[in-house]
Amino acid sequence: MNIKLLIVILVLSGYTSARAQNQYEIDSLSELLANKHLHDTARVDIYNELAFSLRAVDKDLALAYLDTAKILA
């Protein structure tokens, strides 16, 4: 019984850690987009990375970023 509880705790802590890391990546990429001097190629790459990071969290926003990247490309 204790081993099952330990496994559940480890799985949940890994999930929480992965979500926190994903949110950090999303925040960092969003900050990069705020740079007005960013080249279009870099901006397209960032939009694509944001879409990839958001795919499991907010699919509508991920698709919006992909559409924006497509327009800029």
- Considering the domain boundaries, does residue 60 fall inside one? yes
Give the number of domains in the chain.
1
- Considering the domain boundaries, does residue 2 fall inside one? no
Reported as a pLDDT band with limits 50, 70 and 90, residue 18 is very low
Give the pLDDT score at 44. 94
Tell which residue, 24, 22, 11, has the closest CA to residue 55: 22
What is the domain range of residue 40?
21-72
Type of residue at 63: L
- Considering the domain boundaries, does residue 67 fall inside one? yes
d(CA 44, CA 66): 9
Mean pLDDT within 45-57: 91
Q: What angle do CA 41, 43, 52 make, to 5 degrees?
A: 110
Answer whether 0.85 is exceeded by the pTM: no
Percent of the chain with pLDDT over 70: 71
Give the pLDDT score at 22. 79
